[in-house]
Structure 1
Amino acid sequence: MKLEENRAPDPKEEPVAGDRQEIMEIAMRAGHILLENGAEISRVEETIDRICRHYGIQSANSFVLSNGIFSTMGNQREEFFARVQHIPVSGAHLNRVAAVNQLSREIEEGKHTIADLERCLDDIENMPGKRNIVQIMASAVGSGAFCLFFGGDLLDSAAAFLSGMLLYVYILYGGYRLSRLVEHILGGALVTFLCMVFYHLGLGHNVSSMIIGSVIPMIPGVAFTNAIRDLTDGDYIAGSVRMMDTALVVLGIALGVGMMFTAYYRITGGNLL
């Protein structure tokens, strides 16, 4: 029986061939949004499986990596289907992840038709991110707060506040055009240079605390947490890829900081630490 557009489908009904392919495409699209925006592997696989089974597809199987989804369907009763999607490693947008999770719950409650799902996923993909000024100020406040946490005083925190603010201006308006490794090398060098300048201007006393606080906005905390969760869930390939990605980010930051300290030492012969 063909699914009607004006009612939510009964999961006990058998979808016809065209419906099965449309359901699989929608399930993969939901998984794509989750994976692209920072969800862990188990969440992506579970969401795809829930959507397919709710709409009556019993033979669906998905294999998810940190940058790709492989989905298949087919047995004696259901026609064969196979799709592969490549999802580049990118940043986290947890509001979109939360929206897809909520949509998945509503699907299990029978609140959506197939046409509804297309519109809902369009809305989720078009959800606006945080405004640039909000991201810049969040980076500044976070940098200043972490500087205090790591032993800096109020002047150190003020310097880290300014460094974190200028760092995110660089990330939003210049760094995105570069490769991830180069972006973080230059970012680490930038905050180190700024903290050195502020130190010599008398704004701050502890350069190490200022630098540590300033680089915090670049630390990939969500990616690192997801890598640990993937490894503990047995997704060793995905977890290793994410762990390597976070390690490259940290390496880039360390290289930038080290290069700036080396240049300072060779130019002035002094030591700030």
Structure 2
Amino acid sequence: MEQQIDEKSDQKVDQKVDQKTEKTQMREVLDLAMNMGRVLLKNGAEIFRVEETIDHVCRRYQIEDVESFVMSNGIFITARDEEEDIYAKVKHIPLSGFHLGIVTEVNDLSREISAGRIGLEEARARLKEIEAMPPKRGRFRIFAAGIGSGCFCYLLQGNIWESLMAVLIGCFLYVFVIFAEKHKLTKILTNIVGGGMITILALLAIQFPWPFPVRIDKIIIGSIMPLVPGVAFVNAIRDIANSDFIAGIVRILDALLVFVYIAIGVGFVLGSFHKLVGGAWL
């Protein structure tokens, strides 16, 4: 009789241990899903992509009763098993820059998890490596900004000489942008100063007696393009199209404010120039 009681008590202890282990694993899976969503959202992924990634990871580990709510700067996840709520977490993610390489890598990791080709521990280690990915080297970003500025200037009916000036100004602009990132200058200051710097360089460029026509408006418009938040604007439209109206409106407002900051910088320099010399050099 005593032996039967001892066996029953041992079985109850084993069941409690198994339940505890299962809940611990569920929390680890949900933490992984939360962190993958955080990395995606921080680096410019769309709302639906974040929600799908969280859903795929949870389904892979048989966690069915999960609710996630993703906004432009936050993630809310709750989950429960048959007995009780086992997970509730809120993560604030400030609006920041874009790193589409990280987004691509996290998407690949999500597919590997869904296909069962990677375990939980390995997935967590891979996510840490992905999050630590550095941005492209400064000289490549500067070169790309210059080429982009020149190409946009040419597409906007600038001539070849105006496009070459836009290439140089775009390179100088991105040197300042990288400096601002290293010293953690605010988005407002970076875009206002960047817009003003472009205008000053364009004004200086047209003062030389070039043997060909040079129009300041074409140079400024082309050189501004590296500051324009094109990815943020497109993602905002996609979020609105997917009925994520709150996140889309927040993102589109953030993008529109960047346009305002750039316009303030350009307008301030042009206005000051006209007041000082009356625009006689234009």
Normalised by the length of structure 1, the TM-score is: 0.91
Residue of structure 1 equivalent to 2:97: 91
Q: Distance in 2 between matches of 1:270 and 1:217?
A: 27
Is the 2:102–2:130 contact (alpha carbons within 8 Å) kept by the matching residues of 1?
yes
Is the 1:207–1:272 contact (alpha carbons within 8 Å) kept by the matching residues of 2?
no
The reply on whether 1:33 has 2:8 as its aligned counterpart is no
AA at the equivalent of 1:157: S
Q: Distance in 1 between matches of 2:81 and 2:24?
A: 16
Q: Distance in 2 between matches of 1:190 and 1:128?
A: 27
Residue of structure 1 equivalent to 2:202: 195
Residue of structure 2 equivalent to 1:74: 80
AA at the equivalent of 2:153: C
Partner secondary structure for residue 80 of structure 1: strand
Pairing 1:224-263 to 2, within 5 Å after superposition: 224-263=233-272
Q: Distance in 2 between matches of 1:50 and 1:143?
A: 40
Partner secondary structure for residue 64 of structure 1: strand
Q: Distance in 2 between matches of 1:226 and 1:197?
A: 36
Q: Distance in 2 between matches of 1:78 and 1:54?
A: 21
AA at the equivalent of 2:27: Q
Q: 1:110 to 1:268 in 2, by over 3 A?
A: same
Q: Distance in 2 between matches of 1:215 and 1:92?
A: 18
Deviates more, 1:80-89 or 1:18-27: 80-89
AA at the equivalent of 1:242: R
Q: 2:220 aligns with which of 205, 211, 231?
A: 211
Shift of 1:46: 0.6
Q: 2:138 aligns with which of 125, 132, 140?
A: 132
Q: Distance in 2 between matches of 1:262 and 1:213?
A: 20
Shift of 1:272: 6.8
Is the 2:170–2:226 contact (alpha carbons within 8 Å) kept by the matching residues of 1?
yes
Q: 2:189 aligns with which of 182, 196, 202?
A: 182
Q: Distance in 1 between matches of 2:51 and 2:145?
A: 33
Residue of structure 2 equivalent to 1:266: 275
CA RMSD of aligned residues (A): 1.5
Residue of structure 1 equivalent to 2:14: none
Q: Distance in 1 between matches of 2:58 and 2:125?
A: 18
Shift of 1:178: 2.3
Is the 2:154–2:160 contact (alpha carbons within 8 Å) kept by the matching residues of 1?
yes
Partner secondary structure for residue 44 of structure 2: coil
In structure 2, the gaps of 5 or more residues are 1-20
CA offsets per residue over residues 201-232 of structure 1, 9 Å max, x none? Answer: 24660110100010000000100000001011
AA at the equivalent of 2:41: L
Q: Distance in 2 between matches of 1:143 and 1:111?
A: 43
Identity %: 42
Residue of structure 1 equivalent to 2:16: none
Shift of 1:78: 5.7
Is the 2:236–2:248 contact (alpha carbons within 8 Å) kept by the matching residues of 1?
yes
Q: Distance in 1 between matches of 2:143 and 2:280?
A: 31
Is the 2:76–2:89 contact (alpha carbons within 8 Å) kept by the matching residues of 1?
yes
AA at the equivalent of 2:199: T
In structure 1, the gaps of 5 or more residues are 1-14
Q: Distance in 1 between matches of 2:108 and 2:253?
A: 31
AA at the equivalent of 1:240: I
Is the 2:192–2:261 contact (alpha carbons within 8 Å) kept by the matching residues of 1?
yes
Q: Distance in 1 between matches of 2:189 and 2:86?
A: 44
Q: 1:32 to 1:272 in 2, by over 3 A?
A: farther
- The number of residue pairs the alignment matches comes to 259
